[in-house]
Amino acid sequence: MDKKSHKFFGFGLAVVAALAIGLRLYHVNSPVADWHSWRQSDTAAVARNFLRFGIDPLHPRYDDLSNIQSGKDNPMGWRMVEFPLYQAAGAGLAKTFPQLSLEIWLRLLTIAASVGTTILLGRMAGLLPAFVFAVLPYSVYYGRTILPDPHMVFWAMLSLWLVSRRWTLLGGIAGALAMLSKPMAVFLLLPIPYLLYMQSGFSKKTLFRLFSYSLIAFLPLVLWRRWIMQFPEGIPVSSWLLNGNGIRFKGAWFHWLFATRLGDLILGFWGLIPFGLGLVMSPNKKETWAFRWLGAGALLYLIIFASGNVQHDYYQILLVPVVAIFVGKGFRTMKPWIAIVSFLFMISFSWFTIRTYYWINRPEIVEAGRVADAIIPKDAKVIASYNGDTTFLYQTGRQGWPLGFEIDKKIAMGATHYVTVSPSDHDGETKDLAARFTVLVRNEKFAIIDLTRPKK
């Protein structure tokens, strides 16, 4: 690339990165009550409890004290999943710069990771894949959520880029951060052995670099997994994510993942045209077969985590950079007018569904949570009855239980207040508790009941 072309590329990538930032700032200050808010709430709760109990990444805690996720009562609220580097960084920023809320800082960190991935794609695959990643509505929405997945993707892509530049040790460190963010990163790291082989052939040097990379990338995850085994009540049951419902290779598996998620949600139907063209294109000399290995890793991920991918559409965050690469490659082969039409329809049809992800469908949980946070003690333990969804519990700003039932048992375990968005006497639990305990607030939207003050 000559100096003029390099300058143009740099300017173009800067414009794409700026566009990615601008799109991801949409609704950046909205409550954590949008799509997949339960998972976002659990992630944000770890950061908030760092502010409450001190930033201790080895002992992350969230709000759910129930046995719903692990099958064991969790009185300390341990949250032993991904290593909470993201949450610790968010808590540190919120503590240092309290002008912005914790939730906004967490979203800004995700935006930074997503834009970083955009830039890396530009460096590795060109401007078109970077542009596609920047503007796909699915990528935009999840590129500003409070989830570990966008950070996993960024660290994994950074690892690939560093190794491609022959910086094996730095690539291993980035790989370790990807694996600690979420172990599924291993599927994005599948091209690493191939990249090393292309640089040094099959030699002792290649084997040594691969061994060094693997040790650096995987040892921290092994140590973290050994550490969290001390807290079984904080480890969610996860074996079902593989093929718990036996859906792998069934018609429903193909329909949900390749038609509904990839075809409709991510690519808005029309994006399948450039995606297909990109898949059948022969790799050029610069990329060799690295992107093919990346695609193989993505497909392997869908196969192995069959139930998890069908159950949750945020699991496909891992696929987006891979999809963007092949869509971008496909656009290069199309006539301009066909490419423009395909692009516009792809964005429009995808946005038709993704726009609903920003909606707050139950604003009453936000309002009830705000009132509860204002009137109940800071050390209260709350039963926020919401069918096991922790979003409502997070809105109260307290630890507790996201499900009613067995209220007296929960009181014995420390529950002090009951909050519900089913306040009428038609809800038997609310009616019973309102008759037994002091009602602090009760209107047509929600009720707050003090379980420490029985009625005489």
% of the chain exceeding 90 in pLDDT = 94
Q: Say which residue the tokens 């996860």 belong to.
A: 238
Q: In this structure, how many other beta carbons lie within 10 angstroms of the beta carbon of residue 222? A: 10
pLDDT tens, residue by residue, 119-176: 999 999 999 999 999 999 999 999 999 999 999 999 999 999 999 999 999 999 999 9
Query: Is residue 271 within 8 Å of residue 350, measured between CB atoms?
Result: yes
Instruction: Report the range of poorest mean pLDDT among 8-17, 212-221, 368-377, 422-431.
Output: 422-431
CA distance 350 to 353: 6
- Looking at residue 262, the DSSP 8-state letter turns out to be I
Give residue 456's pLDDT.
Answer: 74
CA distance 173 to 214: 10
Give residue 388's pLDDT.
Answer: 93
CA distance 451 to 423: 15
CA distance 14 to 21: 11
CA distance 130 to 20: 9
Check whether 1 has a pLDDT greater than 70.
Answer: no
List helix spans (H) across 334-456: 336-354, 363-375, 390-396, 407-412, 428-436
Give residue 425's pLDDT.
Answer: 79
Q: What is the mean pLDDT of the chain?
A: 96
Query: Is residue 324 within 8 Å of residue 138, measured between CB atoms?
Result: no
Query: Is residue 446 within 8 Å of residue 371, measured between CB atoms?
Result: yes
Q: What is the mean pLDDT of residues 266-283?
A: 94
pLDDT bin (cut points 50, 70, 90) of residue 212 is very high
Give residue 426's pLDDT.
Answer: 80
Query: Is residue 142 within 8 Å of residue 150, measured between CB atoms?
Result: yes
Give residue 282's pLDDT.
Answer: 82
| 3-state DSSP assignment of residue 453 | strand
Check whether 18 has a pLDDT greater than 90.
Answer: yes
Residues with Cβ within 8 Å of residue 334, at least 6 apart in sequence: 273, 274, 277, 342
| 3-state DSSP assignment of residue 282 | coil
Rg (CA), the chain: 24
What backbone torsions phi and psi does residue 415 show, to the nearest 5 degrees? -65, 135
Report the first-to-last Cα separation within the chain, whole angstroms: 83
pLDDT tens, residue by residue, 348-404: 999 999 999 999 999 999 999 999 999 999 999 999 999 999 999 999 999 999 999
pLDDT tens, residue by residue, 219-257: 999 999 999 999 999 999 999 999 999 999 999 999 999
C-alpha closest to that of 414 among 44, 68, 77, 59: 77
C-alpha closest to that of 265 among 353, 344, 328: 353
Vertex 157, ends 340 and 140: CA angle to 5°? 45
The full set of domain ranges for the chain reads 3-357, 363-454
Give residue 284's pLDDT.
Answer: 74
pLDDT tens, residue by residue, 291-337: 999 999 999 999 999 999 999 999 999 999 999 999 999 999 999 99
Query: Is residue 266 within 8 Å of residue 316, measured between CB atoms?
Result: yes
CA distance 290 to 119: 18
For residue 163, CA distances in Å to 19, 199, 271 come to: 28, 10, 30
